[in-house]
Amino acid sequence: MRVSKMLIPTLREVPAEADAISHQLLLRSGMVRKVAAGVYTLLPLGNKVVKKIENIVREEMNKAGGVELQLPIIQPAELWQESGRWDVYGPEMYRLKDRHGRDFCLGPTHEELITDLFRQEVKSYRQLPLLLYQVHNKYRDERRPRFGLLRGREFIMKDLYSFDKDEDGLEESYHKMYDAYNNIFSRCSLDFRAVEADSGAIGGDVSHEFMVIADTGEDEITFCSGCDYAANIDKTPCHSSGEDAAVEEERPLEKKETPEARTVQDVASYLGVDAAKVIKSLFYNADGKLVVVLVRGDRLVNEIKVKNYLECSMLEPADPDEMRNKYGLPMGFAGPVHLREKADVTILADTEIDNLTNAVAGANKNGYHFVNVNLGRDFQIDNYGDFRFAQVGDVCPCCGAPLQVQHGIEVGHIFKLGTKYSEAMEATIIDEKGKEAPVIMGCYGIGVTRTMAAAVEQCHDQDGIIWPSAISPFEVVIMAVNQRDEPQVNCATEIYQQLVAAGIDVLYDDRRERPGVKFKDADLIGYPARVVIGKKAITEGLIEVKWRSTGEMSFQEKGNIATYLKDALASMM
């Protein structure tokens, strides 16, 4: 392909709307353009990257026994009503009506459609296992699309659904996908990690996320320095570190004035104590019931753990006005002591609260805190539990070694669904004994466009993108220093044709631009290899090759160039 026939609108300056580095570079390198918030056009180069990722995904899915099909984007409401998700999904789902007033949605996901297809077409265990997948657009009206392609409202996803006759079959399908996902992201040359994850609203008990490691990632993951353990921080269990506070004699409860000290930090510094000595009391509305969660002042409440413990469908911070007006509990000064006298409230305490002696807690009076608060003597709780977020240095739940924390971008997520959808939608199969039972399902997603953006987040420098060769829009860019110099042009054309013939994905920058412009664009776009035809090529038959990732430059014999590039690129895969 020649640049003169492409559309590669590179930008010299960073568009003001882009903050995330991948967003900036994808715009500047002429790969994508924004159409609306979270909606993007893939320009030729961006489209090519997407196709390369999709092909890797397809190859690995097919290798694992997957079969590709394509489900519609427009989906009838009836199927969603059947699964119960029409009412549950909320405003994130794009809903529309046809001319007859019938309800439809733009598919945010495809469990309903695949389950519907399955129940109509598959009846017998003999047809299982079945792994069906598609690579298609998904639509989610995110409250806040952000970071360019990392969180869009329209995006490309590969989703595969597994159908098995029993748990063992599901286990096998799940492992096939787990392995395939590892292969996919390895082939994309990404630094990633598979981590245990919360299965969330989709249901099921086992779930893994595939995280591309990047400081800018929205997710946090914990991993062990001593063993293989790795998990989403939402899911990481916290065990007591064993470092019980030094045994201290309980001192008498005392109320102290702490004007304007609302945050743990304020209170701790005002009273001159460590934040870990303060009991943080966070009030929640859990399906309409008031709940307070107590954690140490230096800890954060993990609302997912609270929600899972309470088995409630809604958990949100209690309304400060209601707290004050209805119960007389002032925000910032509320605490567990004498709390029950004021409100009917469930009191949950993180396990670490048990270790506190002579702690500090809000006095439920504006401008006051209690000091020397002791559990049992001064307040009671309903239950202990693990309600906090893990932190760096916490003990690994598997081996006890200290945990590390990194940020990541979720590019893949695999779930065991079980019978959630097959039961709701009566997708059953006949087993060996002639008995009818709901089919056992799993679902496995990869965000394709997100993977492209994640790769850029991870692979770039101050000059631009550094594509891993497997997903680069082209493997090699070739150019003449002077596109008006006939010998150079002839030589460049000749080598370009050689490379094409050798099966290398090569782009010829045949623009009559000055070399600096073409060099800058090559660096910005990030082709793995750059071939330059200069004077030396004409006088000595030596061709310059420069590698984007290392900056390494060398001269190759004109006759060897295709072989050299082919070998070098192969060794990078």
* Binding residues vs RNA (CB under 7 A): 10-17, 19-20, 23, 28, 34, 36-38, 92, 108-111, 138, 142-147, 157, 159, 200-202, 218, 303, 315-316, 413, 443, 445, 463, 481-485, 512-517, 519-524, 532-537, 544, 546
> What six digits make up the tokens of 90?
């909320």
The dihedral region occupied by 129, where left means phi > 0, alpha psi between -120 and 50, and beta the remainder, is beta
How many Å is the Cα radius of gyration of the chain? 29
* Cα–Cα distance for residue pair 24/27, rounded to 1 Å: 5
Q: Of 11 and 401, which CB lies nearer to RNA in the complex structure?
A: 11
Q: Which residue has the tokens 């265990």?
A: 125
Q: Which residues contact 505 (CB under 8 A, 6 or more apart)?
A: 472, 474, 475, 476
Contact 289, 304 (CB under 8 A): no
Shortest Å distance, C-beta 496 to RNA:
16
Amino acid at 413: H
Q: Of 20 and 278, which CB lies nearer to RNA in the complex structure?
A: 20
Q: Of 554 and 560, which CB lies nearer to RNA in the complex structure?
A: 554
Task: Give 253-286 as a 3 state SS string.
Answer: CEEEECCCCCCHHHHHHHHCCCHHHEEEEEEEEE
* Cα–Cα distance for residue pair 180/61, rounded to 1 Å: 7
Shortest Å distance, C-beta 481 to RNA:
4
Shortest Å distance, C-beta 560 to RNA:
17
Shortest Å distance, C-beta 92 to RNA:
6
Q: Of 120 and 539, which CB lies nearer to RNA in the complex structure?
A: 539
Shortest Å distance, C-beta 352 to RNA:
21
* Cα–Cα distance for residue pair 35/145, rounded to 1 Å: 13
Backbone CA torsion sign across 237, 243, 247, 248? negative
| CA 542 vs CA 495, 551, 555: distances in Å | 12, 18, 6
Shortest Å distance, C-beta 82 to RNA:
16
Q: Of 140 and 176, which CB lies nearer to RNA in the complex structure?
A: 140
Q: Of 38 and 129, which CB lies nearer to RNA in the complex structure?
A: 38
Shortest Å distance, C-beta 312 to RNA:
11
Q: Of 165 and 548, which CB lies nearer to RNA in the complex structure?
A: 548
> In 301-445, which ranges are continuous DSSP H helix?
303-310, 320-327, 420-424
Q: Of 358 and 483, which CB lies nearer to RNA in the complex structure?
A: 483
One-character DSSP codes across 514-563: -HHHHHHHHHHHT-SEEEEE-HHHHHH-EEEEEETTT--EEEEEGGGHHH
Q: Which long-range contacts (CB under 8 A, 24 or more apart) does 557-563 make?
A: 558/491, 558/495, 561/495, 561/498, 561/499, 561/531, 562/495, 562/498, 562/499, 562/501, 562/502, 562/504, 563/502
Q: Of 354 and 544, which CB lies nearer to RNA in the complex structure?
A: 544
Q: Of 17 and 494, which CB lies nearer to RNA in the complex structure?
A: 17
Shortest Å distance, C-beta 294 to RNA:
19
* Cα–Cα distance for residue pair 348/497, rounded to 1 Å: 71
> What six digits make up the tokens of 15?
């568009």
Shortest Å distance, C-beta 176 to RNA:
17
Using alpha carbons only, give the angle 434, 436, 438 rounded to the nearest 5 degrees: 145
Shortest Å distance, C-beta 18 to RNA:
7
Q: Which residue has the tokens 């004498």?
A: 338
Contact 256, 368 (CB under 8 A): yes
Shortest Å distance, C-beta 136 to RNA:
10
Shortest Å distance, C-beta 53 to RNA:
17
Q: Of 87 and 341, which CB lies nearer to RNA in the complex structure?
A: 87
Q: Of 201 and 247, which CB lies nearer to RNA in the complex structure?
A: 201
Q: Of 462 and 571, which CB lies nearer to RNA in the complex structure?
A: 462
* Cα–Cα distance for residue pair 458/192, rounded to 1 Å: 10
Shortest Å distance, C-beta 461 to RNA:
11
Name beta bridge partners: 279: 296
